[in-house]
Chains A and B, each alone.
Chain A
Amino acid sequence: MEIVAQTVASGVLLGLILALSAAGLTLIWGVMDIVNFAHGDFLMLGMYASFFAWAVLGLDPLLALPGVVAALGLFGVVVYLGVIRPVLRGSVLAQIFATFGLGILLRGVAQFVFTADYRQIGDTMATGSFAVGPVHLGLPQTIAALGALIVSGLLFALLDRTTVGTALRATAEDRSAAELMGIDTRRMFALAWAVGAGCVGAAAGLLAIYFPIFPDVGAVFGLLAFVTVALGGFGSVGGAMLAGVLIGVVTSVAGLIFDPAYKFTVAYLLYLVVLVIRPQGLLGRA
């Protein structure tokens, strides 16, 4: 029994980070109907940013977090202006290839510049573990999860409580009508990329506290983010949060029951089952 509680707890901790990264992906999709296939590679870049802030500047990843979020947000805007806007008038296929190709490029460049070595941030502020009843939680994992929860809360507050967030949601629902309100929807697109990539940056910076960093690190997390978004319902930030935690728990428990090597298989299986029963995802609109 204790091992189940332990497994569920660590699943929730990872799930919260997964949820935050998926929220960034679904926000961009919701506002402008574009799937960022380079999403996982954005995560990889954010983790390297954290690593070098630590290795070169000696900054603890928690202290570097605001900088990593800002850097990724800026990178998101640059990608929107340089890659996305030129292909907006093109076919859907052109849009898919643009972000897919960008992902391959980022991975290749990372391989070349950073080498394929595994990196790990050492001696961070958050080390050790603590016990809650029978469950032992790693402090780095717990702090990363709490951080993800806080950033997710900020994202919700931005979308729900501010005028600019309302304008983002309006742009997502009806672009022409938003224009008629005086909302510059192109600026909203850029903002969606800034906020979406910023969320990935936050997830990356938190994950980097304890997770190894390498050029392909985005592959698994990127794929999981897509499953999370689809499971939660495309465009639904709340759905992505729910699905992120769910997938975190499911993979963790699956690793316990079956061989850990198969734990992600169960997540994809869950996704396929939901797809058959409820194609719009858990909180998606049909």
Chain B
Amino acid sequence: MSAPPLLDVSGLTARYDGAPVLHDVAIAVQPGSITAVIGANGAGKTTLLRALSGLVRPSGGSIRLEGIEISGRRAHGIVRLGVAHVPEGRHIFARLSVAENLRLGGYVLRDNASLERSRSIVFDLFPLLRERAGQRAGTLSGGEQQMLAIGRALMSRPRLLLLDEPTLGIAPLLVARLFDAIVRLPSLGTAVLLVEQNVRVALEIASTGHVLQTGRVVLQGPGQELLGSDLVRKAYLGI
């Protein structure tokens, strides 16, 4: 570990409706890497991402982005620092067009040239979005909406992309296409923190994985190593 981490989380605790959900969580994301967080439903994965993007105010601990403390800032300010969040359930703006969704994804960009650059990157990654630009986002299929949600988040050219269950409820054919796009992100300058119920695929593409159980990181290591570990094989792969 020579390079300083892009994201450095330590001692993070968070509550949901007063009940503690995260306990003393430590996670690091290296620049240009894919890091996976796996765990059962209710383990705190979504709350972790929401705390990182500012949608949930952490009750303790530290979140550093390239050394700068961002814990406690509001979500709209954290986006400007280069962290984009694709929430679980996609949360696209169904009543707006695909083009308008993408425009808002680039809301923090200052000029048309950067917007145009971002659009060409997103359309290159998901050509379908170009064809559907004028369509109301709510009329897209689930998989297409997920592409739009990821594309929209990438419009701000984030250094870190938080991806919450991108394949949940998506047709298998589209799952492969989504993962093809996700593995290309580091080469575009975007590191990925991936929360995924599809444990095998997630750990295969991740350089580092973390296992979250009832709000605690109980195991971490290189993705391939975790795939071979007894804990992951028994609890998450069922073998």
Contact = CB atoms under 8 A, between A and B. Distances in A.
A181 interface: yes
B93 A170 contact: yes
Given A179-B76, A180-B79, A170 B55 contact: no
A179 B74 contact: yes
B76 A166 contact: no
B25 to A, nearest CB: 21
Nearest to A188: B76
Contacts of B93: 169-170, 173-174, 177
Interface string B9-49: 00000000000000000000000000000000000000000
A184 interface: yes
B95 A180 contact: no
A182 B91 CA distance: 15
B100 to A, nearest CB: 5
A210 to B, nearest CB: 38
A217 interface: no
Contact of B96 (A170, A179, A183): A170
A177 B87 contact: yes
Interface stretch (B102-110, B126-134, B184-192, B226-234): B102-110
Interface in A164-204: 166-167, 169-170, 173-174, 176-185
A164 B68 CA distance: 29
Contact of A183 (B55, B91, B107, B153): B107
B237 interface: no
B33 to A, nearest CB: 22
A179 B104 contact: no
14 contacts: A166-B103, A166-B104, A170-B96, A170-B100, A176-B91, A179-B55, A180-B53, A180-B55, A180-B76, A181-B76, A182-B79, A182-B156, A183-B104, A185-B76
Interface of B: 53-55, 74-76, 79-80, 84-85, 87, 91-96, 100, 103-105, 107-108, 152-153, 156
Given A170-B96, A181-B79, 6 more contacts: A173-B94, A179-B54, A179-B75, A180-B53, A181-B76, A181-B107
